[in-house]
Structures are given as structure tokens and as C-alpha cells.
Amino acid sequence: MENQLYLRDIISIADLNRSDLEQILETAAQLKRAPRPDLLEGKVIASCFFEASTRTRLSFETAVQRLGGTLIGFSDSSNTSAKKGETLADSVKIISSYTDAFIMRHPQEGAARLASEFSNVPIINGGDGANQHPTQTLLDLFSIRECQGTLDDLTITFVGDLKYGRTVHSLVQAMALFGAKFNFIAPDALSMPDYLLEELDEKGIRYRKAGSIEEVVPESDIIYMTRVQKERFDETEYMHMASKYILGVESLKGARESLKILHPLPRVNEIEVAVDNTPHAYYFQQAENGVYARQALLALVLNKSI
Amino acid sequence: MTNKLQVEAIRKGTVIDHIPAGQGVKILDRLQLLNSDVSITVGFNLPSKAQGRKDIIKVTDLKFTEQEANQLALFAQGATINVIDEYHVVDKFNMTVPETLRGAFPCPNSNCITHNEPVNSYFYLREKDDDIRLKCHYCEKSFSKEIVSEL
């Protein structure tokens, strides 16, 4: 297959079509089966975290090293020229001139798109403010494909904070390309934004808002849990509603054997620890898959053919 | 009494006519941002055969390009632009909503990267129902034209 990702910037999940996604996921599966420590040999990759994110950074940096590449960069912006007032545009011009690709995370929305306009090498977005985090979506898709054997025609239930969760929004948009059906379970104050529901309506995607997890467990292939942040509610209100958005072993009665539970992590208490021991728990494999998804992306962006 | 007598004719410049009544002030704001040196004559809430009431704005000695006119179209869909020379209309076009807008106003998202970097704001425009939605090229957030017109 022709490599459609070669030398492309990876900024937003919306920039990737179905065949791009399939190519990345297939490559991730191959690299998981058979490591290729030669694919980034001789390449220097910038890993610039203008905002700290330990998990994402370690996952990216592991991916680069597993492919034989080397890294330069920083894990937060406190000792960089950004602190002195240099524009991101200037930083990117300089750092990109040293490297073969530029992985970045930044606290402001649009930072990665802007960087792509000033960089000579591909930009990989590791999160720009509340906007996009495409590699999280890729690892979610990879995990779903891995545990279900397909991405087509699945029923996916999202639980928790569906308003602010960018991982939820991107995954919904991506899974819509594969004919998924969605259930949404969230407190009113944290329900799916209207603009996204409108998008689903326009595409003819089936979805419904459900009242409880138990109600939709039997029909679900995937339950995607997210954290409801305490600080968004006053204490009594939180105590009142939080229990509805917690997944326990009891809630899983009547589940399909193949049902898997995903969570972008970190988890606090929204999935009871006892669930970890059920065959449905898949969130730790999901986190591990982040390395393979990122390897696939880097390998495709930096190699004309694999 | 005709409109022409209510708002004096100009020798050279641009007349923005058939502005929906009430929108003229927003246009005026934008005009002053675009070019603060020009003389502007305005008529608000004038009788109009087609619209009932309309606003009209005359800008002396400034000939609009279509691009400049389109920036204003966001606030006055359906208005017409007449470019005047020696009291004659030498060019006339309808304001149409452009597909993209660069640098017209800052992104309403205060955490958008464009606020501290050497780039112009950049929006994709889409007409939806009675509104125009603007999506920022950078931060990817969408806004109603009502939000940007208050900036």
C-alpha cells in the first residue's frame, strides 16, 4: 500500500480519512507483532513539551527509541526561551532545523497547526490545549480494533464527562467513519456538546442518551469511561450524582463476552478496582498500545515505504 | 422625500446600501477599524421599498475592493456596495459571505495561539440556518457571527 502519511503533519484527527487511519492501525499491529528498531535509525526527533505531560511524553519517547531514533527536547517550558518571551513560531523554526520530526505539546489551542506553518519537518501534535490530541485517538482506535477484531459497526458507550473530554470528541468523530452506534451517559452539565450531536445527525449516525450504565451494557461492544471532575460540582451535588457514573462489577451483568472497557487514564474512582480482574478490563493494554500507535505514526511519517 | 435627499450624495467613494436596519452600527465599527481617516455619512432606519427600513453608509474618497466588502458581509448579508466616481456608480456588487476571512478580527477564544504569535487570525465561514458560523483554522473552535460582531 502506498504510504499516504509520508512527511505529513499530524495535527488533528479530522485531517485523517478512513484509509489513513487504517494504514496507521495496520502498521501499529505489525510493529506490535514484530518490532522494527531500524525504522528511525539515524533520525533525530524533537520532543518538546511546552506543557508537562508525563504519560504522553514517555510514551512518545519510548516509541522513538524502540524504532532506533534519538531524541532532543524538554519536558516543560520552564527553562526554555519560551520563558524569555520567544514566540512559538521562532522556537519551531530553530528546533525544526535541527531535527527530522517535531513532537510537541502546548497549553494553547492551535499551537500545533501554527507550528506546522513554521516548521521544515513534520509536526506531530501531542496535545494543544483543550483542542486536539490525535495520538490518544489513534491508540483508542488501535485498542478497539485489537480487542474487537474490527472497527466496523460497533456499539460504543461513553460514560462520564462528555462535555470537556477532547478524547471523547475525537474518538466519536473517528468512529463515525466506521458506522459506529453510540450511547452517551453523562450528567446534564457534562453532556455531549450540541455541535457534535448536530454533526452526527448530519452524517446519519445513530446515537442515544441513556440514563444508566446497566441499561446499555448488554448491547455494548465497548464502554469508554472518563473521569467526572469533582471540581466541576459543589460537594453535595457531586455526592449525589457521582455514583451513577461509576463502573463496578455489578454493573457488568448481562455483558457480552467480548465487551471491553477503555479509559484514557488516569483513573480515580470511576472504575472500581475489582473490575481490573474481569476479562472486560482493557485500559492497561490500551495505555501500552499508545507506544505502538505512536511508533506506527512516526514510522509512516518518516519512511517513504516500510 | 427620497433617500437621496436624506443622505447627501457623494462625489467619490463607496456607498453601502440596503443594510438591514440596525446592522449599520456594526458596519460602522468595522469601517473605523479598517480605516480611521475617512469621512463617513450615515443614515439609519431609512424607509426602503424592498426592506421596509434600512441603513445606509457612505464613505467618501475610499473605493472598496470586493475583498474589503466581503469582510463586512458578515454583518450585513444582502447589502449592496456601490463604488462612486464623479457622482456615478462605476462598480456595483452584492456583499457575499466569503469562504475564509484572514485578519479581520481576533479569535474569540482567548487561549487561541494566534493571540501571541506573528500570524493573522484565519476563519472558515459556513452559513447555517440564519447564522454564519466561523471556525478558527488554528484552535478549531466554532463561533456564531454574533460573538465576533461584539468584539
Give the pLDDT confidence of B99-114 residue by residue, as tens digits: 999 888 899 999 999 9
Mean pLDDT of chain A: 95
Q: What is the H or E stretch that residue A288 is in?
A: helix A283-302
| Active-site pick, A18, A55, A203, A240 | A55
Interchain CB distance below 8 Å, A110 and B116: no
DSSP conformation letters of A3-67: -TTTT--B--GGG--HHHHHHHHHHHHHHHHS--TTTTTT-EEEEEESS--HHHHHHHHHHHHHT
Residues in chain A: 306
A-chain residue closest to B144, CA distance: A195
For residues A47 and A20, is the Cβ–Cβ distance under 8 A? no
Interchain CB distance below 8 Å, B109 and A109: yes
- Give the closest of B111, B137, B142 to A108, CB-based: B111
Least confident window among A80-94, B66-80, B89-103, B117-131: B66-80
Q: Which residues does chain B have within 8 Å of residue A129's beta carbon, measured at their own beta carbons?
A: 111, 139
Question: Is residue B1 predicted with pLDDT exceeding 50?
Answer: no
Q: Which grid coordinates are listed for A280? A: 472486560
User: Looking at the complex, does the CB of residue A114 fall below 8 Å from at least one CB of chain B?
Assistant: yes
CA distance A132 to chain B (A): 9
Interchain CB distance below 8 Å, B136 and A110: yes
What angle is formed at CA A8 by the lines to CA A89 and CA A36, rounded to 5 degrees? 115
Give the pLDDT confidence of A113-149 residue by residue, as tens digits: 999 999 999 999 999 999 999 999 999 999 999 999 9
User: Looking at the complex, does the CB of residue B109 fall below 8 Å from at least one CB of chain A?
Assistant: yes
- List, in sequence order, every residue forming a beta bridge with B136; answer none if it has no partner: B123
Q: What is the ipTM of this complex?
A: 0.90
pTM of the model as a whole: 0.88
Known catalytic membership, residue A55: yes
